Amino acid sequence: MKSEYLTRGLPPEWNEVSKVFTALGDGWRQRILLAFEPGESLSIQQIAEQLPLSRTAVVHHLKALRDAGILVSGKSGRETLYRLEAAKVQWGLDALQTYLNALREEK
């Protein structure tokens, strides 16, 4: 057992990986992620209109995805548009795959 991770917490290089998986650990956030077409930008209103959540709840979920780097936002006039940063999701998956590969090699 690598008990140092249980007592000292995550190694620094895993902090960003943790953010990705924490953000994706919520079903509503997964739905939002899956709503994006490749290269598409969506406004808060476009997303909120499709969900049975308050606008405040949608903004909360968008913030969590943005803070994890999964979504990037930008202004277009008075609207904030969100775009999927698929590379960040792939990066998190790659980090996990690297860890799993290392475990297999240790056997």
Tell me if 70 sits within 8 A of 88, measured CB to CB. yes
Range 14-106 classified under CATH 1.10.10.10: yes
Q: What is the pLDDT along the chain (107 residues), one digit of tens a residue?
A: 777 778 888 888 888 999 999 999 999 999 999 999 999 999 999 999 999 999 999 999 999 999 999 999 999 899 999 999 999 999 999 999 998 998 888 76
Give the pLDDT score at 38.
92
DSSP class of residue 85 equals -
How many CB atoms are located within 10 Å of the residue 54 CB?
10
Query: What pTM was estimated for this model as a whole?
Result: 0.87
The two structure tokens encoding residue 52: 């049975």
Percent of the residues in the chain that have a pLDDT greater than 70, as a whole number: 99
